[in-house]
């Protein structure tokens, strides 16, 4: 009988004390090091939960096909989990995503379909294209097709409610003897924020939950005023929304914070130079939000956030001086 293989390596990531952000705010700010998952991001957890739920439901059989529309990280997680379980993967991505993610998906054996970046209301949006591709392939695939549907598939948030949330609670309690005072997280599918917040609120109702949002997303205005209105734009990938995904429905929020690309990049570069951590733009949004929350709560509080993935996945953008200067964004001193 085959052993457990890849699956036990997903999750149980370290909780890292972030020296620079903590010193700047007088609070203890911790980052959950999700870039240490096998696929390099927090999305490995959603991929595992979705595949396990499909297997339990009999949707997937050996040799079956997984289809998903993704900015990249969920696709990477699904492809790796699929490889470990004998499934193939077809990933539909907006062509604007980083070349590093596109190349890595192909490297690990996924079939990649690139489509123009279009809003969700457009039938050409990558999620809609993926759904149509899955429906079409289901007609000829003898071992079944799973449309992972990460935005609406509640296995996503349930996976975080049963793993990531309890891990954070146990780790913080082991350090401080109590639950975290606050948790911040950006939203792509909503699964990470909704699942973790459900677990934290169930065990520690006083923990405050804050949505972190980039410009160009409607979720800050939705969370603070109930309107699906966006302002500005952002270079961050995989987070921010023009709608409220099913995984986010019913989330219990205590507030929301909007973060600019300049704020996020400043955090990313400072964290690399002074803390030795190389993270992506979504982690920069999360940490900058945690710092804003820390300043609001005042010194002495404990705030946790998610380090979603690593910076090397965005070398051609976040660490490309020409790309940054063209958008009037800060350039790290060592690359200037």
pLDDT digits (tens, 9 = 90+) for 310-320: 999 999 999 99
Domain range annotation of the chain: 7-36+163-326, 43-147
Q: Which H or E run contains 115? A: strand 111-115
Q: What was the pLDDT predicted at 199? A: 98
Q: Which of 265, 290, 289 is nearest to 278 (CA)?
A: 265
Is CATH 3.40.50.1100 the classification given to domain 43-147? yes
Residue 110: is its pLDDT beyond 70? Answer: yes
Does the fold of domain 43-147 match that of domain 7-36+163-326? yes
C-alpha span between 189 and 219 (Å, rounded): 12
What kind of architecture, by CATH, is found in domain 7-36+163-326? 3-Layer(aba) Sandwich (3.40)
pLDDT digits (tens, 9 = 90+) for 203-254: 999 999 999 999 999 999 999 999 999 999 999 999 999 999 999 999 999 9
Q: For the chain, how long is the longest CA-to-CA vector? A: 60
Q: What was the pLDDT predicted at 2? A: 61
Q: What was the pLDDT predicted at 5? A: 87
- Helix, strand, coil in percent for the chain, rounding step 5: 45, 15, 40
Residue 1: is its pLDDT beyond 80? Answer: no
Residue 3: is its pLDDT beyond 80? Answer: no
Residues with a catalytic annotation lie at 43
Which residues is 147 bridged to in the sheet? 67
**CB-facing half-sphere around the CA of 85: CA atoms within 13 A:** 22
Confidence of residue 107 (pLDDT cuts 50, 70, 90): very high
- Alpha helix segments (H runs only) across 214-280: 219-225, 261-270
Confirm whether pTM is higher than 0.85: yes
Which residues is 94 bridged to in the sheet? 115
Give percent above pLDDT 90 in the chain.
95
**Which residues does 56 contact at the CB level (< 8 Å), separation at least 6?**
none
Tokens 């293989």, located at residue: 5
Average pLDDT of span 270-274? 98
Residue 318 near residue 265 (C-beta atoms within 8 A): yes
pLDDT digits (tens, 9 = 90+) for 283-328: 999 999 999 999 999 999 999 999 999 999 999 999 999 999 999 9
Mean pLDDT across the chain, nearest whole number?
Answer: 96
């Amino acid at each position: 009988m085959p052993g457990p293989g890849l699956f036990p390596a997903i999750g149980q990531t370290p909780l890292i004390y972030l020296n620079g952000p903590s010193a700047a705010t007088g609070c203890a700010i911790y980052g959950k090091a999700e870039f240490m998952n096998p696929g390099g991001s927090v999305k490995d957890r959603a991929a595992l939960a979705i595949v396990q739920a499909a297997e339990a439901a009999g949707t997937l059989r050996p040799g079956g096909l997984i289809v998903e529309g993704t900015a990249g990280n969920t696709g990477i997680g699904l492809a790796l989990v699929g490889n470990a379980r004998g499934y193939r993967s077809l990933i539909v991505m907006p062509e604007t995503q980083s070349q590093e993610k596109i190349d890595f998906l192909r490297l690990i054996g996924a079939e990649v379909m690139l489509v123009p970046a279009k809003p969700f209301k457009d039938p050409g949006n990558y999620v809609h294209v993926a759904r149509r591709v899955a429906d079409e392939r289901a007609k000829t695939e003898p071992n079944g097709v799973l449309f992972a549907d990460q935005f609406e598939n509640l296995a996503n948030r349930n996976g975080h409610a049963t793993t990531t949330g309890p891990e954070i609670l146990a780790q913080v309690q082991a350090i401080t003897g109590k639950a975290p005072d606050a948790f911040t997280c950006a939203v792509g599918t909503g699964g990470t924020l909704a699942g973790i917040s459900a677990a934290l609120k169930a065990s520690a109702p006083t923990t405050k939950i804050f949505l972190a949002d980039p410009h160009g997303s409607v979720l800050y205005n939705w969370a603070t005023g109930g309107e699906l209105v966006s302002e500005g734009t952002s270079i961050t990938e995989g987070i921010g929304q023009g709608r409220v995904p099913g995984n986010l429905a019913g989330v219990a929020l205590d507030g929301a914070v909007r973060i600019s690309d300049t704020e996020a990049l400043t955090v990313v570069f400072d964290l690399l130079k002074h803390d030795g951590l190389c993270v992506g733009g979504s982690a920069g949004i999360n940490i900058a939000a945690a710092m804003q929350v820390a300043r609001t709560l005042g010194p002495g509080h404990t705030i946790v956030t998610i380090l979603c993935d690593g910076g090397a996945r965005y070398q051609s953008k976040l660490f490309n001086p020409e790309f940054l200067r063209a958008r009037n964004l800060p350039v790290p001193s060592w690359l200037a």
